[in-house]
Structure 1
Amino acid sequence: MSGQPMSHRIFIERLVIAIAIVGFALLLWELRDLLILVFGAVLVSVILSLIALPIRQRLGVPPWAGLLAAVLIVAGVIGIALGMFGAETARQAAALSDAIPRAWAALQARLEPMGLAEPLRQAIAGLEANSGGVLSNVGRIAMSIGSGIADALLVLVGGIYLAAQPRLYRGGLVKLVPPGGRANVEQALDDSWTALRLWLLGRLVSMTFIGLLTGIGLWILGVPAALALAVIAFILEFVPYVGPILASIPAILLAFAIDPMLALWVALLYVVIQQLEGNVIEPLVQQRAVDLPPALLLFSIVAGGVLFGAVGVIFAAPLAVVLFVIVKRLYVREALNTETDMPGEAKD
C-alpha cells in the first residue's frame, strides 16, 4: 500500500514538470518577436566587440573607451559612406523607383504578342485582391515602417548595452543553469560567440565581394542605376540564398525594359558572381568558421520567415549558426561523448 501513494506522488511531480515545460514553451512563443530582437541586439554587440577588441589590445584603453571608439568608428564609416555615395545612391534609387514601373509596363508589352500579358495581369490582380489592395494597406505599411524604425533603435541601443557589460549578462544566463552543467554552458556560449564572430566576418567579405562585382559588372553592361543596384546586392547578400535572388530581380527587370538580350546578360552576370562567391570566396572565408550544412541553412531561413516574419529571414542564418554550435557542444560532444570540430579549430 505504501508504494501506491509514492507512485501517485511521482506521477503528480512529472505532471507538474510537464505543465511547466508546456507553459514555458507557450511563454516563449508569445515572446518570439521580442526574442528575435534580443538576438539582433546580440549581433550588434558582437560587431561592436569585434571592432573594440583590437583597439583595447593595441592601445591598452579600458573597455568603455574601446566600445566608445567602436561606436564612433561605425558612425563615422556610415557618415563618410553617406557623404561620398549617399547623394548619388539616393538619386539612382529615385531613378530606379521611377524606372521599375516603366520596366514592368515594357515587360507586359513584350509579352502581349505571345499571349502571356493577360494571364500575368490576372495573376497580379489576384494577388492585390487577396492582400486587400494597395491603398487599403497604406496605413498598415506606414505603421510597419514606424515599428521597424523603433525596433531598429531598440536593437542598436540593446546591442551597445550588451557590448558594454557582456560578462554581466553572460553570468546571469549561466546562473539559470544548475551548477553541474554551468561549465558546459559557459563553453557552449564561448563557442557560439566565436562562431558568430567568424560568420559575421565571412559575410562581410562576401557582401563586399558581391557588391563590388555587381556594381562593376552592371556598369560595364550599361545598366542604369548600377550603384544603387550594387548597394542593394551588398545589403541583401547578408541573407543567404534568398537575398541574391531578390537583389537580381530589379536589375533584370530594368535591363529587360531596355533590351531582352541585356536582361539575359544581367541574369548571367548575377549567376556568375554567385558561382564565384560560392565556389571561391565562401570556401576561403569559411575554412575556420562553422560549416553549416546548406539544407539546414535553407530550412532555417524558411522557418525564420514562418515564425518571425521578415525579421526572422534576416536573422535566420546567424541564429542557425548559434543553435548549431550549441547543439554540437551540449549534445553531440557532451551527451554522446564524441569529438567534433568547433569554430576556430583547424579542420583536416
Structure 2
Amino acid sequence: MQSTYRHQTFTEKAMIVLALALAVVALVLWKLVGLLLLIFGAVVGACILQTCMTPLLKRGMPRWLALMIVVVGLTLLLAGISLAFGSQVASELEALTSLLPDAWEQLQERLQGTPLEPLMDNAGERAGSMFENGIAQFGMVVVSMGGSLVNFFALIVGMIYFAAQPSVYRHGLLLLAPIKSRSKLADALDASGKALRFWLGGQLVAMAGTGILVGVSMWLIGVPAPLGLGLIAGVLDFVPLVGPLIAAVPALLLAYTVSPQTALFALIAYVIIQQIEGNVLQPLVQQHAVSLPPAMLLFSLFAASTLFGVAGVLLAAPLTVIGFVLINELYVQREEGDQSPVE
C-alpha cells in the first residue's frame, strides 16, 4: 500500500515538473516570437532564391555559382528598377499621401445630409483607430523582428545561408525527431518545401500581373498616381483575400475626386482584374502548388494577425501552406494508411 502511494506521489510530482517545463518552453518561444518570424522570413526568402536557382541547377551548374548569379542578378535588377522608376514611384507615393486625406474629405462633404453620413463618420473613426493601431503594431514588429540595419543584414544573410546549404539545416532538423519518424518527416519537409517554392513563384507572378493591370487600367481611366496604385496593388496582393480589398480603397477614393463615374469605372476595373487573377492568373501559375481552401486561408489570416500583428498577416499564407502540407503528410495520409484494408 505504501509502495503504491509513493508511486502515485512520484507520478504527480513528475507531471507537475513536466507541466512547468512545458510552460517555461512555451513562454520562451513566445518571447522569441520575433526571432522565429525573422527565421521563417529568411526561409521564405531562401525559397524564392531556390526557385530562381532551379533552372541553373537543372543544367548542372554548381549550387554556389547558381546562388551567386541569382543574388547578383536580383541585386542588379532591383538597382535598375530603382534607377529607372524610383523617383517616379517616390513622387507618386508622396502624392498619394497628400491626395488621400483630401479625397476622404471630399467624399464626406458629398455625403453630408444623406443617410450615409453617420456611416461615413463611424467608418472614418474606425479607419483612423485601425491605422493608428496598425502603425503601433508595425513599430512593435520592427523592433521585435529587428528594424535595425544589423537585423536586416541578418535576414539577407540568413536567406543566402539557407539557400546555399539547405541539406545541412534539413539534416539538423531531422536529428531532433525520433529515429523511427525521421523518414516520414524528411518526406514531409521535402513536400512542404516544394509546395512553398511553387506557391511563392506563382504568387510573385500573380503580384506582378496584378500590379501591371491595375496601373495600366487606372492610367487609362484617368485616376491620379496610377503607378503608385499599381505598386500598392501588386505588393498587397501577397496577402490573399484581404490585400486586394485594401488596395482598392485608395484607388476608389482618388477616382471619386475626379468624378463619380470615374469611381464606378475604377470599381469595375478592380472587379474585372480580380476575376482575371482568380480565374486565369492564379490557376495558371499555381497549377503545381498546393490548393488552399479559401476559408482556411481567411481564418489563418485573422489568427496570425491576432497573434503576431502585421508580420503575421504578411507571413500567414506561407505558414498556412507549410502547415497544410505537413498535416497532410504527417497525419492525414498516415490515418488513411492505418484505415486501409489489409489484403
Counterpart residue type for residue 18 of structure 2: I
SS of the residue corresponding to residue 337 of structure 1 reads: helix
In the alignment, residue 94 of structure 2 is paired with which amino acid? A
- Alpha-carbon deviation of 1:7? 4.4
In the TM superposition, what is the alpha-carbon distance from 1:4 to its structure 2 partner?
A: 4.5
**Counterpart residue number, 1:212:** 212
Residue range with higher mean Cα deviation, 161-170 or 246-255: 161-170
Deviation at 1:279, TM superposition (A): 1.9
Alignment partner, residue 295 of structure 2? 295
Q: State the partner residue of 1:343.
A: none
TM-score by length of 2: 0.87
Contact 1:301 1:313 (C-alpha < 8 Å) held by counterparts = yes
Report the alpha carbon displacement of residue 222 of structure 1 after superposing the two structures with TM.
1.1
Cα shift readout 1:209-259 (whole Å, capped 9, x = no counterpart):
211211121111111111111111111111101110111111100011111
Question: Matches of 2:12 and 2:138 in 1, distance apart?
Answer: 51
Q: Which segment is superposed worse, 153-162 or 199-208? A: 153-162
Q: Write the mapping of 1:18-167 to structure 2, written as runs, cut at 5 A.
A: 18-58=19-59, 60-114=60-114, 116-117=116-117, 120-121=120-121, 124=124, 148=147, 150=149, 152-167=152-167
Match of 1:196 in 2: 196
Report the Cα distance in structure 2 between the residues aligned to 1:193 and 1:315, rounded to whole angstroms: 15
**Residues 138 and 309 in structure 2, CA contact (< 8 A), matched pair in contact too:** no
**Tell me, what secondary structure is at the counterpart of 2:58?**
helix
Structure 1 segment 277-288 matched on structure 2, within 5 A: 277-288=277-288
Q: Alpha-carbon deviation of 1:192?
A: 0.8
Which residue of the partner structure matches residue 317 of structure 2?
Answer: 317
CA distance, structure 1, for counterparts of residue 182 and residue 123 of structure 2: 56
SS of the equivalent of 1:219 reads: helix
Instruction: State yes or no: 1:231 paired with 2:231.
Output: yes
**What percent identity do the matched residue pairs reach?**
41
TM-score (norm: length of structure 1): 0.86
Q: Structure 1 pair 188/82, CA: closer, same or farther in 2 (3 Å)?
A: same
Contact 2:297/2:317 (CA < 8 Å) preserved in 1?
Answer: yes
Going from structure 1 to structure 2, the CA distance change for 1:229 and 1:83 (only over 3 Å counts) comes to same
- Please, which moves more after superposition, 141-150 or 320-329? 141-150
Where 1:41 maps in the other structure, the secondary structure is: helix
Q: What's the CA shift string for 1:169-202, capped at 9, x where partnerless?
A: 1111111111111111111110110010010111
Cα deviations by residue, 1:39-80 (Å, 9 ceiling, x for unpaired): 10000111111222322332x443222211111111111112
| 145 and 103 in structure 1: CA distance in 2 versus 1, 3 angstrom threshold | farther
Give the structure 1 partner of residue 240 of structure 2.
240
Change (3 A) 1:299 1:153: farther
For residues 259 and 42 of structure 1, the distance between their equivalents in structure 2, rounded to whole angstroms, comes to 46
Q: Which moved more, 1:115-124 or 1:330-339?
A: 115-124
- Asked if structure 2 preserves the Cα contact closer than 8 Å seen for 1:41 and 1:162, the reply is yes
Q: 1:327 to 1:119 in 2, by over 3 A?
A: closer
Q: Is the 8 A contact 1:252 1:263 kept in 2?
A: yes
How far apart, CA to CA, are the structure 1 residues paired with 2:42 and 2:259?
A: 44
Q: Map of 1:265-284 to 2, 5 A cutoff? A: 265-284=265-284
Determine the structure 1 residue equivalent to 2:254. Answer: 254
RMSD of the TM alignment (CA)? 2.8
CA contact (8 A) 2:41 2:155 kept: yes
Asked if the contact 1:48/1:67 (under 8 Å) is kept, the reply is yes
Query: Which residue identity does 1:63 align to in structure 2?
Result: R
1:103/1:127 CA distance change after superposition, 3 Å: closer
**Whole-angstrom distance in 1 between the partners of 2:54 and 2:338:** 33
- CA distance in 2 between counterparts of 1:83 and 1:208 reads 19
- The structure-2 alpha-carbon separation of the partners of 1:168 and 1:139, relative to structure 1 and needing over 3 Å to count, comes to closer
CA contact (8 A) 1:332 1:338 kept: no
Query: What's the CA shift for 1:155?
Result: 2.3
Q: Tell me, yes or no, if the aligned pair for 2:290 and 2:321 is still in contact at 8 Å.
A: yes
Question: What SS is found at the alignment partner of 1:19?
Answer: helix
Paired residues in the alignment total 334
- What's the offset of the Cα at 1:167? 1.7
Q: Is the 8 A contact 2:138 2:310 kept in 1?
A: no
Report the Cα distance in structure 1 between the residues aligned to 2:199 and 2:290, rounded to whole angstroms: 7
CA distance in 1, matches of 2:338, 2:288: 20
1:292/1:36 Cα in 2 relative to 1: closer, same or farther (>3 Å)?
same
In 1, Cα distance between the equivalents of 2:311 and 2:269?
A: 28
Partners of 2:49 and 2:67 within 8 A in 1: yes
The 1:92–1:164 alpha-carbon spacing in structure 2 relative to 1, beyond 3 Å, is same
